Amino acid sequence: GAVVSQHPSWVICKSGTSVKIECRSLDFQATTMFWYRQFPKQSLMLMATSNEGSKATYEQGVEKDKFLINHASLTLSTLTVTSAHPEDSSFYICSAREGVAVRVGTQYFGPGTRLTVL
Protein backbone atom coordinates (compact mmCIF):
# COMPACT_ATOMS: atom_id res chain seq x y z
CA GLY A 1 0.00 0.00 0.00
CA ALA A 2 0.83 3.74 0.12
CA VAL A 3 1.87 4.10 -3.50
CA VAL A 4 2.40 7.46 -5.14
CA SER A 5 2.68 7.79 -8.90
CA GLN A 6 3.88 10.62 -11.09
CA HIS A 7 3.21 11.30 -14.72
CA PRO A 8 5.06 11.75 -16.90
CA SER A 9 8.28 10.19 -15.70
CA TRP A 10 10.28 12.13 -18.25
CA VAL A 11 9.43 15.13 -20.38
CA ILE A 12 11.32 17.30 -22.83
CA CYS A 13 9.87 20.62 -23.86
CA LYS A 14 10.84 23.73 -25.72
CA SER A 15 11.71 26.93 -23.93
CA GLY A 16 8.63 29.08 -23.35
CA THR A 17 6.12 26.26 -23.19
CA SER A 18 4.29 24.99 -20.13
CA VAL A 19 4.50 21.52 -18.66
CA LYS A 20 2.09 19.82 -16.27
CA ILE A 21 3.21 17.09 -13.90
CA GLU A 22 0.69 14.93 -12.09
CA CYS A 23 1.09 13.34 -8.69
CA ARG A 24 -1.41 10.72 -7.58
CA SER A 25 -1.84 8.74 -4.40
CA LEU A 26 -3.08 5.38 -5.66
CA ASP A 27 -4.36 3.64 -2.57
CA PHE A 28 -4.83 6.28 0.08
CA GLN A 29 -6.22 9.75 0.53
CA ALA A 30 -3.56 12.40 0.69
CA THR A 31 -4.69 15.45 2.58
CA THR A 32 -1.31 17.05 2.02
CA MET A 33 1.08 16.76 -0.88
CA PHE A 34 4.55 18.20 -1.21
CA TRP A 35 6.57 19.17 -4.26
CA TYR A 36 10.35 18.96 -4.25
CA ARG A 37 13.02 19.84 -6.71
CA GLN A 38 16.29 17.98 -6.93
CA PHE A 39 19.29 19.16 -8.89
CA PRO A 40 21.84 16.60 -10.08
CA LYS A 41 23.76 15.03 -7.22
CA GLN A 42 22.07 17.32 -4.71
CA SER A 43 19.47 17.04 -2.03
CA LEU A 44 15.76 17.66 -2.28
CA MET A 45 14.54 21.20 -1.84
CA LEU A 46 10.95 21.69 -0.80
CA MET A 47 9.13 23.94 -3.24
CA ALA A 48 5.62 24.00 -1.86
CA THR A 49 3.06 22.30 0.30
CA SER A 50 -0.45 21.78 -0.98
CA ASN A 51 -3.54 20.87 0.97
CA GLU A 52 -6.60 19.57 -0.78
CA GLY A 53 -9.03 22.33 -1.59
CA SER A 54 -6.80 25.23 -0.58
CA LYS A 55 -4.02 27.29 -2.04
CA ALA A 56 -0.52 25.94 -1.94
CA THR A 57 2.06 27.35 0.45
CA TYR A 58 5.29 28.13 -1.34
CA GLU A 59 8.74 28.15 0.18
CA GLN A 60 10.76 31.31 0.15
CA GLY A 61 12.31 31.98 -3.20
CA VAL A 62 9.91 29.81 -5.20
CA GLU A 63 7.91 31.76 -7.78
CA LYS A 64 4.26 30.88 -7.30
CA ASP A 65 3.31 32.28 -10.71
CA LYS A 66 5.88 30.10 -12.41
CA PHE A 67 5.19 26.89 -10.52
CA LEU A 68 1.43 26.53 -10.33
CA ILE A 69 0.18 23.90 -7.94
CA ASN A 70 -3.35 22.58 -7.84
CA HIS A 71 -4.53 20.01 -5.31
CA ALA A 72 -7.98 19.40 -6.69
CA SER A 73 -8.78 16.14 -4.96
CA LEU A 74 -7.55 13.91 -2.17
CA THR A 75 -5.64 11.79 -4.66
CA LEU A 76 -4.33 14.26 -7.21
CA SER A 77 -2.00 17.24 -7.17
CA THR A 78 -0.54 18.88 -10.24
CA LEU A 79 2.52 21.06 -10.75
CA THR A 80 2.57 23.23 -13.85
CA VAL A 81 5.84 24.81 -14.86
CA THR A 82 4.81 27.84 -16.88
CA SER A 83 6.96 29.42 -19.57
CA ALA A 84 9.70 26.92 -18.90
CA HIS A 85 13.32 27.84 -19.42
CA PRO A 86 16.46 25.71 -19.44
CA GLU A 87 17.20 26.63 -15.82
CA ASP A 88 13.94 24.92 -14.85
CA SER A 89 15.40 21.60 -15.99
CA SER A 90 15.46 19.40 -12.94
CA PHE A 91 14.09 16.31 -11.25
CA TYR A 92 10.73 17.07 -9.65
CA ILE A 93 9.48 14.75 -6.93
CA CYS A 94 6.17 14.80 -5.15
CA SER A 95 5.24 13.22 -1.87
CA ALA A 96 1.95 12.62 -0.16
CA ARG A 97 1.08 12.48 3.49
CA GLU A 98 -1.50 9.99 4.51
CA GLY A 99 -4.34 11.25 6.62
CA VAL A 100 -5.04 7.99 8.43
CA ALA A 101 -4.23 8.52 12.07
CA VAL A 102 -2.38 5.27 12.55
CA ARG A 103 0.21 6.25 10.01
CA VAL A 104 0.12 9.99 10.30
CA GLY A 105 3.45 11.55 9.76
CA THR A 106 4.88 9.49 6.95
CA GLN A 107 5.42 10.95 3.54
CA TYR A 108 5.31 8.63 0.58
CA PHE A 109 7.32 9.72 -2.40
CA GLY A 110 6.59 9.43 -6.07
CA PRO A 111 9.20 8.16 -8.53
CA GLY A 112 9.95 11.65 -9.83
CA THR A 113 9.66 13.46 -13.14
CA ARG A 114 12.71 14.52 -15.05
CA LEU A 115 12.11 17.76 -16.92
CA THR A 116 14.47 18.88 -19.65
CA VAL A 117 13.86 22.27 -21.23
CA LEU A 118 15.60 22.89 -24.52
- Following CA atoms 55, 45, 76, 80 in sequence, which dihedral angle do they give, to the nearest 10 degrees? 70
Residues 33 and 41: their CA atoms lie apart, in Å, by: 24
The nearer residue to another protein, 18 or 57, going by C-beta atoms, is 57
Identify the CA nearest to 11 among candidates 94, 109, 89: 89
Residue from 21, 93, 115, 117 touching another protein (CB under 8 A): that is: 93
The nearer residue to another protein, 34 or 84, going by C-beta atoms, is 34
97 binds another protein (CB under 8 A): yes
Binding site for another protein (CB under 8 A): 4, 6, 32, 34, 42-46, 49, 93, 95, 97, 104-112, 114
